[in-house]
Each structure stands twice: as C-alpha cells, then as structure tokens.
Chain A
Amino acid sequence: MNAVTEPLLNVQTLTMNFGGLRALDQVSLQVQPGEVVALIGPNGAGKTTFFNCVTGIYRPSGGDVFVTPPGKKRRRLNGLKTHQVTASGLARTFQNIRLFQEMTVLENVMIGRHCRTRAGVLGAVLRDPQTRREERDIVERSYTILEKIGLAGEVNELAKNLPYGDQRRLEIARAMATEPFLLLLDEPAAGMNPRETDALEALIRRICDEEGIAVLLIEHDMRIVMSISNRIYVLDYGKKIAAGTAAEIWENPVVIKAYLGEETEE
C-alpha cells in the first residue's frame, strides 16, 4: 500500500475566462478516496463553473484536471468531452434539475448505464442473447440503485410527476448508474426541507461509505456541509480563499467576511 495515495481528483490552478471575465482564478482542489469534500462560497463565486470545467462542459482556459481512478493510472481530463469524462468515472448532478421528464424513473436511471454498455443498432433490432442479457442487467442494476436510494416504489412513474425532493434524489440515482468513483453534486439540498435534508445527508454518507464513491458537493446549506464534509474549500470571486476541515473553515475570518452574514439555514 502506498504511503501517499494519489487523489481521485486533482485540480491544479484551474482558470476559466469568459471573454474578459475571469470566472475561476488558479483554483486548486483535491479529493481523496473515501472523502466527502464540499465546495462553498457566495453566489457567483464560480462553483458551478468549476464543476463545468471539470466535467468537460467548458474547456478550461488554464490549469489541469487530473483524475486517478482506483487501481488505474492518472489521466488528464482537460479537453475531454463531457461524455468521455463521465465514462472515465466522474458523474454529476445539476443545480437546476435536469431529469428526462418524459421518461420514467427507471428509464432515467437506465440512461446512466449507457456508457457501461455496448449494444448498438444491430443488437437492438436483432435482440440477440448478448443484447438481451445486457438489457436485463441494465434493468436490474438500475432497479437496485433505486432501491438503495429509496425510489423503488416510483419505478414506472414519469420523472416529471415526482415530488421535488424525489426528483433531486433521482438525479443522484441516475448519476450513480454510471458507476462513478467520484460524484459531483451541485446543490443537492437546494429547496429541501429539514427532513429531506437529513435523509439526503444519510444518503450521501451511505454513498461514500458503502458504495465507496467519493463525493464533491456544492452547497449553500451550511448544516449539511458542516455535518458531512471531511474537508471544505471556499471560493469567492473565482479564487480559493480557504481550505480545511469544517472546524477550521467555521472560524476562518476570511470566509466569514466573504459571506458577511449570508449564511443560509434552510
């Protein structure tokens, strides 16, 4: 066993410019295996931009994004397309829910299996044994994930008919179906009441501990951030202004100043 394990996600001096606007300025961040890391900061600090850069929706203007999947070599994600990033093991949810509204709950999760399966047009038309096996496997795995998330009862419901909290959890289930080693959650607790937030907290903890998936989350809800994060990074105006454990961040005057009483308690 190595004394120093390579971080799952190693972002070095990431910079992102939109025309004249510098949205991210030399941001460095790491996520180690088994960790829950939080990315916080006032609105507009660049957190979602960070996600978008890591997942290939934007091409970073500078810096590097490295991932080291467990048991594999390190690779650089810069310039990869989003679906390639997902295939390499990073999955995400979105700030505004982006489910496939006209598809059922199960089918939403089944989409997540796409990058881990291979059947093509020929397989679809011929339904040969291999394809059929793959389909059954897709359905089963998806169902299992839904059971773990607690949405198995809604399997055939159209995604758009789910209540809000369930929709957020469905997004997580869908991301999990891609078999990630790192899950990026963008404000998963947004709009949730305290009971739902507690359930979410437990879910994230389970994902990390039982499924072995590390989590990087953007959040405004300080309760959940302080409660489950191993480490926290703070962004403001695109710059990393602090990093550390919950306790360290809580006391940090720079952080307090950046928020200036903007601390949200849902």
Chain B
Amino acid sequence: MDYFLELFFGGLTRGSIYALIALGYTMVYGIIELINFAHGEIYMIGAFTALIVSSVLAFAGFSGLSVLFLAAAVAIIYSAAYGFTVEKIAYKPLRQASRLAPLISAIGMSIFLQNYVMLAQTSDFLPFPSLLPELPFLEELELSIGSTELIILMTTAVSMVLLTLLIKFTKMGKAMRATAQDRKMAMLVGVDVNRTISYTFIIGSVLAAIGGVLIASHIGRINFYIGFIAGIKAFTAAVLGGIGSIPGAVLGALILGWTESFATGYVSSDYEDVFAFLLLVIILIVRPSGLLGRSTVQKV
C-alpha cells in the first residue's frame, strides 16, 4: 500500500508540473490556434535563470528561503519576458498565414532557444540546488509524500486558483476568453487583441517558470534539453484534456502523471516516455477533441 501511495503522490506531483506547463500550451492554442513548440524551452529557461540567480546569490552569501523567492521571482520575470518576445518575433508576423508557417516557426524557435542556452551555458547536466525547504512535520505524519512533493502540489494548487480567478473575474481574463472564442468579434467590440495575446503568453510563461523552478529543485539537475521532453508531455496532457480547455489541461496532466507513475512503477521503467506518446496517439485517434473539449462543427 505504501508503494501505491508513493506512486500516487509521485504521479500527482508529476501531473502538477505537467499541468503548469500544459496550461501555457492550452491557453495559447485556445487563443491563436498555435502549438507553441517553444513553450517547453520557456520552462527550461525559467529553470536555468533560477539556477543562475541562486548561484550568484549563493556566491554573494545569501542562503535559505530568500534565495528561493528571489530566484523564483527572477525566473518568472524572465520567462515571461522570453515568452512575450518569442510571440512578438516568431508568431505575431504570422497571424494571417496558413497553419504550417507558424508551426515551422515555432519548431525553429524551439531549436534556437535550446541551442542558445546550450551554447551560452553548457551542454552538461548542471546540478540544481535544493531550494525548497524541508518540512519536518512530514516525517511525523509518515505519509508517502516528500517535502518537495508537497510543496509542489500546494504551489500548483494555489497557482490554479489564482489563474481561475484571473480568467473569471478580471477584465483581461474576459478579454482572453473573448479572443479565444472569436478574434474578429473581440476586436470589433474593442478588445486589444495584441495585448490580450501577449498577456496569454506571459501568463503561460509564468506558470511554466514556476514549474521549472519547482521541478528543478525536486530533481536536482537541469540541462538545455529538458524543455523538449517536458514540453511534449505537457502538450500531450493538454490534448488529452481537450486543447483550449483550462480544466482539461489540468485533468489531462493529472491523468498523464498518474499513468506514467503507475506504469513505470508496476510495468516497466524503460518505456517511461513511451507511455506519454502512446497516450497521445491513442487519444488523438479515438477522441481528438480530448476529454473535456468540444468537437466543433465546421461551417461550410
């Protein structure tokens, strides 16, 4: 039973990270129908930025929670900046183009960012300090969950809540929903579509950065390539739940996290990545609109 719980919480943790990244994918797709291939790299850049900041701070003699918060804050700012810039350069000029052009551009951006970080830093795996605090009371409770895992879960939950509040109750949130539904119409009723789209990218990037910092602390090392695999999996999660649907992204992420956790725990750990892709392929074949998505009728 312990093992089961361990896998359960492990899956929950994975799912949380996937959710944080998947939300970026789903929101961007919902608003401009683009698979932002470079989103995984934003997550990776968040992790790297946090590493750099925490290293500098450590060097300067800081330690403890202040390092965590500073590193996370800077990582968030920078990820948002990168997300914003990528959109302006690689996607905005292609808004009117066919489907293939932005996709290629996104892939190109992804490759560019990966190599940018690799060349600027290193291609090695770099150890990442454990910035997350240990929670002593957990030992006593004897749950099958670790400190960092719990923190990840809580942070994700809080982020979800904040996001939901933002989408539902703020003016920008309404603008995002409107633009996602009908861009032309939103423009006509006075929504600043460009700003809304930028905002969407920024929010997605912020979440990805949070995910990056959390998982880097949890796993303990990063390299320039982590964005790719995490990105694909998060995208799988978004599709699984129904791309464009925010609750769908979370649901899909959790399902993916649990599937991976239990499959690697009980079946085989070699094929870990295969499960994600298999799930992706199956979902797309059986129900492309995803679990919570709606299939739209094409107007002829």
Contacts and interface: CB of A to CB of B under 8 A. Distances in A.
A18 B300 contact: no
A94 B300 contact: yes
B141 interface: no
Contacts of A52: 300
A30 interface: no
Interface in A72-97: 94-95
A163 to B, nearest CB: 23
A222 B131 CA distance: 75
Interface string A43-57: 000001000100001
A264 to B, nearest CB: 22
Contacts of B300: 48, 52, 57, 94-95
A94 B300 CA distance: 8
Contact of B297 (A18, A48, A94, A95): A18
Nearest to A49: B300
Nearest to A92: B300
Nearest to A48: B300
Interface of chain B, main secondary structure: loop
A211 B135 CA distance: 85
A48 B300 CA distance: 8
Contacts of B297: 18
Nearest to A186: B300
Nearest to A95: B300
A34 B191 CA distance: 53
Interface in A163-180: none
A67 B276 CA distance: 48
A149 B300 CA distance: 25
Contacts of A48: 300
Contacts of A94: 300
A52 B300 CA distance: 8
Interface in A5-43: 18
A148 to B, nearest CB: 27
A50 B275 CA distance: 44
A18 B297 CA distance: 9
A219 to B, nearest CB: 18
Interface string B17-53: 0000000000000000000000000000000000000
Contacts of A57: 300
A48 B298 CA distance: 13
Nearest to B297: A18
Interface string B263-300: 00000000000000000000000000000000001001
B298 to A, nearest CB: 9
A152 B248 CA distance: 54
A143 B243 CA distance: 46
A95 B300 CA distance: 8
B74 to A, nearest CB: 48
B293 to A, nearest CB: 15
A57 B297 CA distance: 11
Nearest to A55: B300
Nearest to B294: A19
B202 to A, nearest CB: 35
Nearest to A19: B297
A41 to B, nearest CB: 18
Contacts of A18: 297
A11 B297 CA distance: 23
Contacts of A95: 300
A13 B191 CA distance: 44
A211 to B, nearest CB: 26
A265 B282 CA distance: 53
A18 B299 CA distance: 12
A20 to B, nearest CB: 13
A191 to B, nearest CB: 18
Interface in A87-143: 94-95
Nearest to A94: B300
A120 B300 CA distance: 29
A18 B294 CA distance: 13
A94 B297 CA distance: 17
Nearest to A18: B297
Interface in B210-227: none
Interface string B91-107: 00000000000000000
Nearest to B298: A57
A161 B127 CA distance: 60
A47 to B, nearest CB: 12
A101 B242 CA distance: 32
A18 B298 CA distance: 12
A95 B299 CA distance: 11
A165 B297 CA distance: 29
A21 to B, nearest CB: 10
A93 to B, nearest CB: 12
6 contacts: A18-B297, A48-B300, A52-B300, A57-B300, A94-B300, A95-B300
Interface of B: 297, 300
Interface of A: 18, 48, 52, 57, 94-95
- Which 6 residue pairs of A and B lie closest in terms of their CB atoms, listed nearest first? A57-B300, A52-B300, A18-B297, A94-B300, A48-B300, A95-B300
